[in-house]
Structure 1
């Protein structure tokens, strides 16, 4: 055996001795780690869940819909008679009171007719007075007096007719409101179909919207609505004052209108608004998250945490639904802990580890 071979043999012997010495220690550490892992798994063997503690509170049964802002009053002003525009008595965009003269049409011919009838009326009035005196002395017959009286009364009626025609040559504001853009000019001849200007009353405003027919029986006059627009995201309160007496057969919806103050002019007619319509309020309602309710063939169920921190199945009867919650009518009591997570994994008797209580 040469020297190199001896060295190799010695190194192998040393490695064997070192392995024999270290192997029991490694095996012992592995066994300790395995036992620690087993004990940790046993400690956390419960299903981790989040629960909700049931408390009585007021439930606002409400819908989220969209609607449109309408003016309180709006009209396109048109003349009642044709004629030449002699004077425009308003500025675009200004606020006017009811009865304010806005436009004048030429009434020269009507004024001449009115003046002529005034002279005729005075003549017949004096004749009627004389005939009345003569009739009192029986100097004339009743028939002669009646003829003069009829002429007098006819003239009075003609005067009222011409006066009414003269009034039609002045276009007045039909209500308080803001004027829009003028569509005519002085000197133009306009007809009864020509638009002069639009008048809009925007305080209060009306909010028109529709709800599904299944909620029609819950509608009450005076119900509150809350609405907002893109330009005014803060919610403003309104009140339902009227609704259609029938369901729209095409859309299966019921149309409603609400009213709200608009003194600052934030909302303009035609605006698109988001509406939160409160149908009714339920006191002492028990609410659970929608994900807690499991539908079954015979109804619905939820899981609660019992005294031993295990899952317990409860059959429940549900009521009103909101966007994220469901009302429980029976099957639960105030203070119950209902599973909000881990619902699909839970079974009756499943050990639970509650990680969060809402």
Structure 2
């Protein structure tokens, strides 16, 4: 009797299990297909930024050389012996200041002689003029006397010009360099006396590739950096060579930079940063958000919970940002993280928006 009851109980359990098995399979299948049980269907957590207008400078870089604003080698126009040196090496001198004197004794004697001749010639010309007015002499005799006076005056002017050549004067304000002569030296026009340089402001020469020829104009801002000190100075382009060098395919540019403190030295190597263009309403995005595509370049924009791909046209590139010329609008939400993992139109969730 007990065995029969046991068999009956086991049979009932088996029947109930078979009856409930289809429901268990269906529920298990629903659980497997639910979003909570499939991690791949979970939205990707990303960060975003709101597109805004920003300030952008289009810059290029070059190397340059500092030059004096004005520079000249002091030389004499005539040969002679130095009688005076009136400048100190490395000192500032003013325009017109007498720097060096050459012996002019012979010229001074000639000038004195011509001055005496001038007195006699003037008296003679005056007497003949009085006689001519009274018709006591001919016009020809008066013209001869006047010609003698003009000849003497020309000799005086010539002698004075020769005396001026014995004086070396500063042609402009500047700092005079080391001298190469001494008092008593006999010098000629081939002899280099010293150099004179005007160093405030300073010039800087540099070259830029030919593709920027149309953008380099007088007035453009340049930043001059001295590598030895790390200091940066601001200057302006004031001249551009009108011809492109056929050997280097570059154009020579010259800028001017203030040097009130005298910290810039002629001949020094400098690093140049040139501002070609400035934009106050540029759209800038981080460089890492740009994804290469068959159609060009694209970014991902957050729209209605999805990462929507957007083809863009790019412009100027800086170290960290890229200018967007088309494809994005002010106010769009750009996805800036998880770019590699994102699939087009995949669901995403923003963790933060800047």
Say yes or no: TM over 0.5. Answer: yes
Cα shift at 1:83: 0.9
Matched, 1:284 2:281: yes
1:90-126 Cα distance to aligned partner (Å, 9 max, x none): 1111100001111111111111111111111111111
Cα shift at 1:222: 1.5
What is aligned with 2:92? 95
User: Greater shift after overlay, 236-245 or 333-342?
Assistant: 333-342
Cα shift at 1:168: 0.5
What is aligned with 2:302? 305
Cα shift at 1:320: 2.3
Q: Which segments of 5 or more consecutive residues in structure 1 lack a partner in the other structure?
A: 1-34
1:47-90 Cα distance to aligned partner (Å, 9 max, x none): 56554442211211122222221111111111111111111101
Cα shift at 1:340: 4.0
What is aligned with 2:329? 333
The partner residue of 2:318 within 322, 326, 332 is: 322
What is aligned with 2:162? 165
1:168-197 Cα distance to aligned partner (Å, 9 max, x none): 001011100011111111111111011111
1:242-265 Cα distance to aligned partner (Å, 9 max, x none): 111122222222222221211101
- How do residues 65-214 of structure 1 correspond to structure 2 at under 5 angstroms? 65-214=62-211
1:279-330 Cα distance to aligned partner (Å, 9 max, x none): 121121101123322344543222223331x322101122223333221111
Q: Is the 8 A contact 1:64 1:277 kept in 2?
A: yes
Matched residue of 1:269: which SS? coil
Structure 1 295/188 Cα, relative in aligned 2: closer, same or farther at 3 Å? same
Cα shift at 1:137: 1.2
Matched residue of 2:238: which SS? strand
Alpha-carbon separation, structure 2, partners of 1:85 and 1:151: 35
Alpha-carbon separation, structure 1, partners of 2:65 and 2:337: 40
Cα shift at 1:211: 1.7
Q: Is the 8 A contact 1:311 1:348 kept in 2?
A: yes
1:186-210 Cα distance to aligned partner (Å, 9 max, x none): 1111110111111111111112222
TM-score normalised by structure 1 residue count: 0.83
The partner residue of 1:234 within 231, 236, 252 is: 231
What is aligned with 1:251? 248
Structure 1 337/66 Cα, relative in aligned 2: closer, same or farther at 3 Å? farther
Structure 1 42/345 Cα, relative in aligned 2: closer, same or farther at 3 Å? closer
Matched residue of 1:303: which SS? strand
Alpha-carbon separation, structure 2, partners of 1:71 and 1:40: 77
Q: Is the 8 A contact 2:89 2:179 kept in 1?
A: yes
Alpha-carbon separation, structure 1, partners of 2:160 and 2:281: 68
Matched residue of 2:214: which SS? helix
Matched residue of 2:59: which SS? strand
Structure 1 159/182 Cα, relative in aligned 2: closer, same or farther at 3 Å? same
Alpha-carbon separation, structure 2, partners of 1:342 and 1:282: 30
The partner residue of 1:221 within 208, 218, 222 is: 218
What is aligned with 2:13? none
Matched residue of 2:116: which SS? helix
Alpha-carbon separation, structure 2, partners of 1:321 and 1:245: 28
Matched residue of 1:204: which SS? strand
Q: Is the 8 A contact 1:52 1:288 kept in 2?
A: no
Alpha-carbon separation, structure 1, partners of 2:256 and 2:310: 45
Alpha-carbon separation, structure 1, partners of 2:322 and 2:172: 49
Matched, 1:269 2:289: no
